[in-house]
Amino acid sequence: MPVSEQTFVAGRLRLAARRWGNPGGLPVMALHGWLDNAASFDCLGPLLGACDLVCLDLAGHGKSQGRVGMGAYNLWQDLGEIFCVADQLGWERFALIGHSRGAMIAFLAAGTLPERISHLVLIEGGLPRTATAEQAPEVLADSLRALRLATARARQFYPGFAEAVAARQQGLFPLTESDALLLARHGVVETDRGFHWSYDPKLMAGSEVRFSIEQVEAFRRRLTAPTQVILGLQGFIAQEPEALAWLARSPEWQQVWLPGDHHLHMHAQCDAVASAIRRHLNIPDDEEGLV
Protein backbone atom coordinates (compact mmCIF):
# COMPACT_ATOMS: atom_id res chain seq x y z
CA MET A 1 0.00 0.00 0.00
CA PRO A 2 1.53 3.37 -1.00
CA VAL A 3 2.08 6.14 1.52
CA SER A 4 1.91 9.82 0.65
CA GLU A 5 3.76 12.73 2.25
CA GLN A 6 1.69 15.80 3.11
CA THR A 7 2.26 19.19 4.67
CA PHE A 8 -0.12 21.28 6.76
CA VAL A 9 0.15 24.77 8.20
CA ALA A 10 -0.97 25.41 11.76
CA GLY A 11 -0.43 29.01 12.78
CA ARG A 12 3.20 29.69 11.89
CA LEU A 13 4.18 26.03 11.98
CA ARG A 14 4.62 23.76 9.00
CA LEU A 15 3.65 20.23 10.03
CA ALA A 16 4.54 17.14 8.00
CA ALA A 17 2.49 13.95 7.85
CA ARG A 18 2.45 10.49 6.31
CA ARG A 19 -0.94 9.41 4.97
CA TRP A 20 -2.06 5.82 4.46
CA GLY A 21 -5.19 4.05 3.28
CA ASN A 22 -8.50 5.06 1.82
CA PRO A 23 -9.32 8.80 1.48
CA GLY A 24 -13.00 7.92 1.83
CA GLY A 25 -12.51 5.71 4.87
CA LEU A 26 -12.89 6.35 8.56
CA PRO A 27 -10.81 9.44 9.41
CA VAL A 28 -8.05 8.57 11.88
CA MET A 29 -5.16 10.71 13.12
CA ALA A 30 -2.12 9.04 14.70
CA LEU A 31 0.23 10.77 17.13
CA HIS A 32 3.72 9.37 17.80
CA GLY A 33 5.77 9.31 20.97
CA TRP A 34 8.55 11.49 22.37
CA LEU A 35 11.52 11.87 19.97
CA ASP A 36 9.84 9.48 17.50
CA ASN A 37 8.12 10.60 14.30
CA ALA A 38 5.27 9.68 11.94
CA ALA A 39 7.18 6.61 10.69
CA SER A 40 6.39 5.07 14.08
CA PHE A 41 3.13 3.99 12.38
CA ASP A 42 4.65 2.64 9.17
CA CYS A 43 4.05 -0.95 10.32
CA LEU A 44 0.40 -0.28 11.20
CA GLY A 45 -0.42 1.87 8.18
CA PRO A 46 -0.74 -0.94 5.61
CA LEU A 47 -2.84 -2.95 8.10
CA LEU A 48 -5.43 -0.19 8.57
CA GLY A 49 -6.13 0.32 4.90
CA ALA A 50 -9.87 0.85 5.35
CA CYS A 51 -9.09 4.01 7.29
CA ASP A 52 -7.93 7.40 6.09
CA LEU A 53 -4.90 7.38 8.38
CA VAL A 54 -2.97 10.63 8.79
CA CYS A 55 0.20 10.20 10.89
CA LEU A 56 1.50 13.58 12.02
CA ASP A 57 5.03 14.62 12.74
CA LEU A 58 4.26 16.59 15.89
CA ALA A 59 5.90 20.00 16.27
CA GLY A 60 9.66 19.70 16.65
CA HIS A 61 9.74 16.10 15.45
CA GLY A 62 10.50 14.41 12.15
CA LYS A 63 10.03 16.80 9.22
CA SER A 64 7.83 19.27 11.09
CA GLN A 65 9.09 22.66 12.17
CA GLY A 66 10.08 23.32 15.75
CA ARG A 67 8.52 26.00 17.90
CA VAL A 68 10.38 29.29 18.15
CA GLY A 69 11.41 30.86 21.43
CA MET A 70 12.78 29.41 24.63
CA GLY A 71 9.70 27.55 25.86
CA ALA A 72 9.32 23.84 26.45
CA TYR A 73 7.00 21.56 24.47
CA ASN A 74 3.99 21.43 26.77
CA LEU A 75 1.44 18.75 25.88
CA TRP A 76 -1.53 21.07 25.49
CA GLN A 77 0.23 23.13 22.81
CA ASP A 78 -0.23 20.28 20.34
CA LEU A 79 -4.02 20.26 20.73
CA GLY A 80 -4.68 23.41 18.69
CA GLU A 81 -2.37 22.11 15.96
CA ILE A 82 -4.14 18.74 15.84
CA PHE A 83 -7.57 20.28 15.44
CA CYS A 84 -6.21 22.80 12.92
CA VAL A 85 -4.94 19.91 10.75
CA ALA A 86 -8.30 18.12 11.15
CA ASP A 87 -10.07 21.27 9.96
CA GLN A 88 -7.84 21.44 6.88
CA LEU A 89 -8.72 17.80 6.15
CA GLY A 90 -12.42 18.58 6.48
CA TRP A 91 -12.76 16.27 9.49
CA GLU A 92 -15.39 17.48 11.92
CA ARG A 93 -15.20 14.15 13.76
CA PHE A 94 -12.34 11.66 13.71
CA ALA A 95 -10.60 8.89 15.66
CA LEU A 96 -7.33 9.40 17.49
CA ILE A 97 -4.52 6.87 17.97
CA GLY A 98 -1.66 7.91 20.22
CA HIS A 99 1.52 6.22 21.36
CA SER A 100 3.33 7.21 24.59
CA ARG A 101 3.57 11.03 24.64
CA GLY A 102 1.18 11.04 21.67
CA ALA A 103 -1.28 9.04 23.77
CA MET A 104 -1.14 11.72 26.47
CA ILE A 105 -1.89 14.38 23.86
CA ALA A 106 -4.72 12.25 22.39
CA PHE A 107 -6.22 11.79 25.86
CA LEU A 108 -6.22 15.55 26.48
CA ALA A 109 -7.67 16.26 23.03
CA ALA A 110 -10.51 13.79 23.51
CA GLY A 111 -11.26 15.21 26.95
CA THR A 112 -11.15 18.82 25.74
CA LEU A 113 -13.37 18.58 22.65
CA PRO A 114 -15.13 15.23 23.10
CA GLU A 115 -17.69 16.01 20.40
CA ARG A 116 -14.93 15.84 17.78
CA ILE A 117 -13.39 12.46 18.70
CA SER A 118 -15.25 9.32 17.59
CA HIS A 119 -12.81 6.71 18.99
CA LEU A 120 -9.69 6.83 21.14
CA VAL A 121 -6.79 4.34 21.10
CA LEU A 122 -4.00 4.77 23.65
CA ILE A 123 -0.87 2.69 23.07
CA GLU A 124 1.53 2.47 26.01
CA GLY A 125 0.46 5.80 27.43
CA GLY A 126 -2.43 8.14 28.06
CA LEU A 127 -2.45 9.96 31.37
CA PRO A 128 -0.11 12.98 31.58
CA ARG A 129 2.38 13.22 34.41
CA THR A 130 0.87 15.13 37.32
CA ALA A 131 2.11 17.46 40.06
CA THR A 132 0.63 19.01 43.17
CA ALA A 133 0.29 22.75 43.66
CA GLU A 134 3.24 22.64 46.04
CA GLN A 135 5.41 21.02 43.39
CA ALA A 136 4.66 23.65 40.71
CA PRO A 137 7.67 25.92 41.40
CA GLU A 138 10.16 23.07 41.21
CA VAL A 139 8.53 21.62 38.09
CA LEU A 140 8.95 24.99 36.38
CA ALA A 141 12.51 25.34 37.68
CA ASP A 142 13.46 21.87 36.39
CA SER A 143 12.06 22.72 32.97
CA LEU A 144 13.96 26.01 32.77
CA ARG A 145 17.22 24.33 33.81
CA ALA A 146 16.73 21.61 31.20
CA LEU A 147 15.93 24.19 28.50
CA ARG A 148 19.11 26.08 29.29
CA LEU A 149 21.19 22.92 28.98
CA ALA A 150 19.43 21.76 25.82
CA THR A 151 19.91 25.04 23.98
CA ALA A 152 23.55 25.36 25.06
CA ARG A 153 24.57 21.83 24.21
CA ALA A 154 26.01 21.24 20.72
CA ARG A 155 23.91 19.05 18.46
CA GLN A 156 25.14 15.45 18.20
CA PHE A 157 26.47 14.59 14.75
CA TYR A 158 27.30 11.06 13.59
CA PRO A 159 29.86 10.14 10.92
CA GLY A 160 27.38 7.89 9.12
CA PHE A 161 23.71 7.01 8.89
CA ALA A 162 24.31 3.64 10.56
CA GLU A 163 25.79 5.33 13.62
CA ALA A 164 22.68 7.53 13.97
CA VAL A 165 20.50 4.42 13.81
CA ALA A 166 22.62 2.65 16.42
CA ALA A 167 22.37 5.64 18.77
CA ARG A 168 18.56 5.54 18.59
CA GLN A 169 18.58 1.85 19.45
CA GLN A 170 20.09 2.75 22.83
CA GLY A 171 17.62 5.50 23.77
CA LEU A 172 15.46 5.79 26.88
CA PHE A 173 13.21 3.11 25.36
CA PRO A 174 15.57 0.79 23.44
CA LEU A 175 14.56 -0.16 19.91
CA THR A 176 15.37 -3.03 17.61
CA GLU A 177 17.52 -2.16 14.61
CA SER A 178 14.54 -2.53 12.25
CA ASP A 179 12.38 -0.12 14.28
CA ALA A 180 15.20 2.40 14.70
CA LEU A 181 15.83 2.22 10.95
CA LEU A 182 12.19 3.12 10.19
CA LEU A 183 12.40 6.20 12.39
CA ALA A 184 15.82 7.16 11.03
CA ARG A 185 14.75 7.09 7.39
CA HIS A 186 12.19 9.77 8.25
CA GLY A 187 14.01 11.63 11.00
CA VAL A 188 17.76 11.72 10.27
CA VAL A 189 19.25 14.61 8.29
CA GLU A 190 22.52 14.57 6.36
CA THR A 191 24.67 17.71 6.43
CA ASP A 192 28.25 18.59 5.59
CA ARG A 193 29.06 18.00 9.28
CA GLY A 194 27.59 14.52 9.30
CA PHE A 195 24.22 12.96 10.19
CA HIS A 196 21.91 14.15 12.96
CA TRP A 197 18.41 13.50 14.26
CA SER A 198 16.05 16.28 13.27
CA TYR A 199 14.12 16.72 16.53
CA ASP A 200 14.27 20.06 18.34
CA PRO A 201 16.74 19.83 21.27
CA LYS A 202 14.25 21.74 23.45
CA LEU A 203 12.20 18.53 23.55
CA MET A 204 14.69 17.27 26.12
CA ALA A 205 13.07 19.58 28.68
CA GLY A 206 9.95 18.53 30.56
CA SER A 207 6.74 20.51 30.59
CA GLU A 208 6.89 23.82 32.42
CA VAL A 209 3.55 23.14 34.09
CA ARG A 210 1.87 19.84 34.91
CA PHE A 211 -1.80 19.22 35.56
CA SER A 212 -2.90 18.11 39.01
CA ILE A 213 -4.44 14.69 39.56
CA GLU A 214 -7.81 16.40 39.97
CA GLN A 215 -7.44 18.17 36.62
CA VAL A 216 -6.48 14.97 34.81
CA GLU A 217 -9.49 13.26 36.36
CA ALA A 218 -11.69 16.07 35.01
CA PHE A 219 -10.42 15.35 31.49
CA ARG A 220 -11.13 11.64 31.98
CA ARG A 221 -14.71 12.28 33.15
CA ARG A 222 -15.32 14.44 30.09
CA LEU A 223 -14.36 11.67 27.65
CA THR A 224 -17.19 10.29 25.54
CA ALA A 225 -15.25 8.39 22.85
CA PRO A 226 -15.01 4.60 23.25
CA THR A 227 -11.48 4.16 24.58
CA GLN A 228 -9.06 1.30 24.03
CA VAL A 229 -5.73 0.95 25.84
CA ILE A 230 -3.09 -1.29 24.24
CA LEU A 231 -0.23 -2.26 26.54
CA GLY A 232 2.93 -4.36 26.32
CA LEU A 233 3.50 -7.00 28.96
CA GLN A 234 7.14 -5.88 29.02
CA GLY A 235 6.30 -2.23 28.42
CA PHE A 236 6.57 0.97 30.41
CA ILE A 237 3.02 1.08 31.81
CA ALA A 238 3.29 -2.42 33.26
CA GLN A 239 5.98 -1.06 35.60
CA GLU A 240 4.07 2.07 36.69
CA PRO A 241 1.82 1.45 39.73
CA GLU A 242 0.15 4.87 39.43
CA ALA A 243 -0.80 4.25 35.80
CA LEU A 244 -2.10 0.77 36.61
CA ALA A 245 -4.20 2.28 39.41
CA TRP A 246 -5.73 4.74 36.96
CA LEU A 247 -6.59 1.90 34.60
CA ALA A 248 -8.25 0.02 37.46
CA ARG A 249 -10.43 3.08 38.06
CA SER A 250 -11.42 3.19 34.39
CA PRO A 251 -13.34 -0.06 33.82
CA GLU A 252 -15.07 1.46 30.79
CA TRP A 253 -11.74 1.50 28.94
CA GLN A 254 -11.02 -1.67 26.99
CA GLN A 255 -7.59 -3.03 27.93
CA VAL A 256 -5.58 -5.14 25.49
CA TRP A 257 -2.40 -6.69 26.90
CA LEU A 258 0.06 -8.14 24.38
CA PRO A 259 3.60 -9.52 24.51
CA GLY A 260 6.04 -6.75 23.71
CA ASP A 261 7.74 -3.62 24.97
CA HIS A 262 7.04 0.11 24.75
CA HIS A 263 7.15 0.09 20.93
CA LEU A 264 5.08 -3.06 20.43
CA HIS A 265 3.02 -1.31 17.71
CA MET A 266 6.02 -1.40 15.39
CA HIS A 267 7.53 -4.60 13.98
CA ALA A 268 7.15 -6.75 17.10
CA GLN A 269 3.35 -6.91 17.40
CA CYS A 270 1.97 -4.75 14.59
CA ASP A 271 -0.39 -7.51 13.36
CA ALA A 272 -1.92 -8.06 16.81
CA VAL A 273 -2.11 -4.32 17.53
CA ALA A 274 -3.74 -3.63 14.15
CA SER A 275 -6.27 -6.42 14.74
CA ALA A 276 -7.21 -4.93 18.12
CA ILE A 277 -7.57 -1.45 16.63
CA ARG A 278 -9.73 -2.71 13.77
CA ARG A 279 -12.08 -4.36 16.27
CA HIS A 280 -12.26 -1.14 18.28
CA LEU A 281 -12.99 0.91 15.15
CA ASN A 282 -15.54 -1.67 13.94
CA ILE A 283 -13.56 -2.40 10.77
CA PRO A 284 -14.01 -5.97 9.47
CA ASP A 285 -10.77 -7.87 8.94
CA ASP A 286 -11.65 -8.42 5.28
CA GLU A 287 -11.39 -4.63 4.75
CA GLU A 288 -7.92 -4.27 6.28
CA GLY A 289 -6.13 -3.95 2.94
CA LEU A 290 -8.72 -1.76 1.22
CA VAL A 291 -7.08 1.10 -0.68
Helix (H) or strand (E) holding 118: strand 117-123
Helical axes 161-169 vs 177-187, angle rounded to 10°: 120
Determine how many CB atoms are found less than 10 A away from the CB of residue 258: 18
Q: Which residue in 39, 78, 61, 62 sits closest to 182, CA to CA?
A: 39
Nearest 5°: the CA angle 143, 190, 184 is 65
* Catalytic-labelled residue, pool 4, 40, 64, 100: 100
Which amino acid would we find at residue 192?
D
**Residue 100 is a catalytic residue:** yes
Distance, in Å, from the CA atom of 254 to the CA atom of 252, rounded to the nearest integer, reads 6
Distance from CA of residue 62 to its chain's centroid? 12
Nearest to 224 by CA among 104, 111, 82, 107: 111
Distance CA 233, CA 139 (A): 30
**Paired strand residues for 227:** 120
Task: Output Rg (C-alpha) for the chain, integer angstroms.
Answer: 18
Q: Please state, in angstroms and as integers, the Cα–Cα distance from residue 8 to each residue in 29, 81, 88, 197, following that order.
A: 13, 10, 8, 21
Residue 6: strand, helix, or coil: strand
Residues known to be catalytic? 100
